Amino acid sequence: MDLNATIIGQIIAFFMFVWFCQRFVWPPITKALEERQKKIADGLEAASRAGHNLEMAQGRAAEMLKEAKVNSAGIIDQANKRASQIVDEAKEKAREEGNRLIAGAQAELDQQVNRAREQLRLQVAGIVVAGAEKILQASVDEKTHASLLDKLAASL
């Protein structure tokens, strides 16, 4: 077992190599390792956050759906109400229109009846006068017998 200057050489080489390792080898690799660890941690955190967000969004969606349902029910209700209202209004209008038409027709009818009656009366008066003339063989003076004729006509 011979000890010699190889020890010194080895010590020098050792410190040089450790220095090189410390200066050029260790920092970049450990930095890459740390960065990767951080990336993975960030990724996991983002994933859990996304899951949380999804949960929240789902909750919100359900809430909105419920609200929409309530709204739509209200709208349908309102529409139904409005529709029946419109139908009622239409019915009312139709009835009024009908009544009006009936009233108009009635008025016209009355008028025509009156007119026909008047004509008839005149004709009857004429016929009566003619008949009377024929019976009396004399003309009936319209003027003198006007009141008689009128009475007759009114009684028809």
Q: Does 11 bind another protein (CB under 8 A)?
A: yes
Contact call for residues 125 and 149 (beta carbons, < 8 A) = yes
CB of 41 to another protein, least distance (A): 12
Q: How far is the CB of 43 from another protein (least distance, A)?
A: 12
Cβ proximity to another protein: between 34 and 118 the closer is 34
Among residues 111, 109, 90, the alpha carbon closest in space to that of 101 is found at: 109
Q: Which residue has the tokens 């220095």?
A: 19
Encode burial over 49-63: b for 16+ CB neighbours within 10 A, e otherwise: eeeeeeeeeeeeeee
Residue 10 found at the interface with another protein (CB under 8 A): yes
Question: Restricting to residues 31-70, which ones interact with another protein according to CB under 8 A?
Answer: 31-33, 35-36, 39
91 DSSP assignment: H
Task: Examine residue 22 and tell whether it contacts another protein (CB under 8 A).
Answer: yes
26 is a contact residue toward another protein (CB under 8 A) = yes
30 binds another protein (CB under 8 A): yes
Interface with another protein includes 1 (CB under 8 A)?
yes
Please give the helix or strand (H or E) that residue 141 lies within, else none.
none
Q: Which distant-in-sequence residues (6+ apart) come within 8 Å of 72 by Cβ? A: none
Smallest distance, Å, CB 15 to another protein?
6
Residues that bind another protein (CB under 8 A): 1-11, 13-15, 17-18, 20-22, 24-33, 35-36, 39
